[in-house]
């Protein structure tokens, strides 16, 4: 019960649906949303990232182009369904590109350019903030898995 207070879950149907569509662990998707926005769809970061999954409008425009979206407007990122859909697509893209969850999460946080440079130099995650981000999401993922099995369709 305490874990449910610490880690709220909203938009369960959207999370479940896009996790299924993009072959994502729904607990991972919920954990990313929690870490990025605490499930608040109107959050905007200092860097200009918007909504539940904190997508930069430029990233979202690229996703819209790749997925056949037409007429994308930056304000669309405040819509939970679209934000989670685009964020899920992006997370799947990073998982496919890097082949493991920790590296994909590092790229979600620090950007693909930084992660590519770290990998090219043979090193791990260079930013303490990004190491903390990955660790925090892994912890939240375990909590969502334990606390919301049925809501996330985990059995």
Contact partners, residue 12, CB within 8 Å, separation at least 6: 148, 151, 152
Catalytic residue among 36, 129, 138, 151: 36
CA–CA gap between residue 7 and residue 21 (Å, rounded): 24
Cβ–Cβ contacts within 10 Å for residue 149, how many?
13
36 catalytic per annotation: yes
Burial class (CB in 10 A: 0-12, 13-18, 19+), 1: exposed
Contact partners, residue 39, CB within 8 Å, separation at least 6: 8, 9, 10, 11, 33, 52
Which residues are marked as active site?
36
């Amino acid at each position: 019960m305490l874990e449910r207070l610490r880690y709220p879950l909203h938009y369960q149907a959207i999370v479940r649906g896009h996790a299924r569509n993009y072959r994502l662990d729904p607990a991972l998707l919920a954990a990313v949303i929690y870490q990025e926005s605490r499930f608040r769809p109107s959050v905007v970061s200092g860097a200009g990232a918007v909504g539940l999954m904190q997508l930069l409008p430029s990233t979202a425009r690229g996703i819209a182009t790749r997925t056949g979206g037409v007429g994308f407007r930056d304000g669309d990122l405040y819509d939970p369904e679209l934000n989670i859909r685009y964020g899920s697509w992006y997370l799947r893209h990073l998982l496919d590109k890097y082949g493991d969850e920790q590296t994909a999460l590092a790229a979600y946080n620090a950007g693909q350019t930084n992660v590519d440079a770290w990998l090219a130099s043979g090193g791990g995650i260079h930013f303490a903030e990004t190491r903390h981000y990955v660790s925090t999401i892994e912890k939240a993922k375990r909590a969502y898995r334990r606390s919301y099995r049925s809501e996330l369709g985990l059995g």
